[in-house]
Amino acid sequence: MTVQASPAIKVGGLRKAFGKTVVLDGIDLDVPAGSIFALLGPNGAGKTTTIHILSTLLLPDAGEVTVGGADVVRDPEAVRHSIGLTGQVSALDKQFTGEENLQLMADLCHLGRTEGRRRVRELLDLFEIGEIAGRPAMTYSGGERRRLDLAMTLVGRPRILFLDEPTTGLDPRSRRVMWQIVRGLVADGVTVFLTTQYLEEADQLANRIAMLDHGRIVAQGSPAELKRLVSGGRIRLEFGDEAALDRAASVLRVDDVDREALALSVPNDGGTRALRAVLDRLDAASIEAAGLSVETADLDDVFLALTGHDAHEATEKVATR
């Protein structure tokens, strides 16, 4: 992995407990500037707590947390200058219109009258909420509200953006719009730290993923690296008799043989070239396989393999409000 001179976010030995409940049990994270980092885990894993500590809403019990080069405990004010947070609870004034909400942010970011107006316009266009900008936010749909919420976070052009489950509860189309926006931001040099329960989302968006389970990071790396953790994909071959199986095992040099099923598995990176190579070698040795199946690993497998349970399963349903 490329280690940058100044990572956007650096976390070492982070711990947090609420009373006797340990929520984060020694977390280490490294997020290079300008990348998308996904913190993946089921409900109750500690994702929101992590985001709240990184965004100065909560104090850690122990550990070093640096965001944008500033320590969240010693200099939260400096951290706040470089971050933006869109949480799970919509953080807007429902009684105000979309435009007024954005204008409020522009005023609080001290953008000045002209620049503030310009920025509000720009974001209304970017998020396609210009048409509803004059309506009170309480009349917005879930997707519209989420977009306004994110737009408000972006008014001050944060360099580091925290998104707590940005697409939970959104329909597939709104989800893709959100992904597009996030990718656009990263293209502009913003660092994005997001949490998600959706493996697909992490896979689609993130440069790096950390899997969080019961307050511990169980794996961390690029999506490809993580998938490799579960022995990648495999090609499973079945044979008509034991002799063919033995010959195939020696030709393909594999020990992973299932004698009862007369089958063996060959590691595979998921590409067709490796598959063809395996078949060519069998052909060359005149061995005929009775059956073939290709198993590809996805992040679900990784999560399951590392934690023994599904990432989607709501083990401890934690209230989000």
The residue from 2, 77, 173, 286 that contacts another protein (CB under 8 A) is 77
Q: For residues 183 and 265, give the distance between their C-alpha atoms in angstroms, rounded to a whole number.
A: 38
| DSSP secondary structure of 172-203 | HHHHHHHHHHHHHHHHTT-EEEEEES-HHHHH
Q: Are 50 and 217 in contact (CB under 8 A)?
A: no
Strand order in the sheet with 263-268: 257-258, 263-268, 233-238, 291-295
Note whether 43 binds another protein by CB under 8 A: no
Instruction: Tell me what percent of the chain is helix, strand and coil, each rounded to the nearest 5.
Output: 40, 25, 35
Looking at residues 146 to 175 of the shown chain, list those that interact with another protein (rule: CB under 8 A). 152-153, 156
Of 20-28, 77-85, 210-218, 276-284, the window that binds another protein (rule: CB under 8 A) is 77-85
Element (H, E) at 123: helix 113-126
The residue from 20, 110, 113, 173 that contacts another protein (CB under 8 A) is 110
* List of residues 6+ apart from 223 with CB closer than 8 A: 202, 203, 206, 209, 299
Beta strands 9-18 and 21-31: pairing type? antiparallel
For the window 258-287, what string marks contact with another protein as x by the rule CB under 8 A?
A: ------------------------------
Tokens of 13: 């030995």
Residue position matching structure tokens 């408000």: 152
Q: For residues 107 and 90, give the distance between their C-alpha atoms in angstroms, rounded to a whole number.
A: 20
Of the pair 97, 265, the CB lying nearest another protein is at: 97
Written as one letter, the residue type at 70 is A
Note whether 108 binds another protein by CB under 8 A: yes
Note whether 294 binds another protein by CB under 8 A: no
Of 21-29, 76-84, 174-182, 224-232, the window that binds another protein (rule: CB under 8 A) is 76-84
Note whether 91 binds another protein by CB under 8 A: yes
The residue from 28, 75, 238, 269 that contacts another protein (CB under 8 A) is 75
Q: For residues 302 and 200, give the distance between their C-alpha atoms in angstroms, rounded to a whole number.
A: 12
Tokens of 88: 């799970």
Note whether 113 binds another protein by CB under 8 A: no
Of 55-63, 173-181, 222-230, 244-252, the window that binds another protein (rule: CB under 8 A) is 55-63
Of 103-111, 189-197, 210-218, 298-306, the window that binds another protein (rule: CB under 8 A) is 103-111
Note whether 17 binds another protein by CB under 8 A: no
The residue from 31, 38, 92, 235 that contacts another protein (CB under 8 A) is 92
Note whether 63 binds another protein by CB under 8 A: no
Note whether 66 binds another protein by CB under 8 A: no
Q: Whole-number minimum distance, CB 113 to another protein, in Å?
A: 12
Q: Are 303 and 209 in contact (CB under 8 A)?
A: no
Note whether 80 binds another protein by CB under 8 A: yes
Q: Which residues bind another protein (CB under 8 A)?
A: 52, 55-58, 74-77, 80-81, 83-85, 87, 89-96, 100, 104, 107-110, 152-153, 156, 320-321
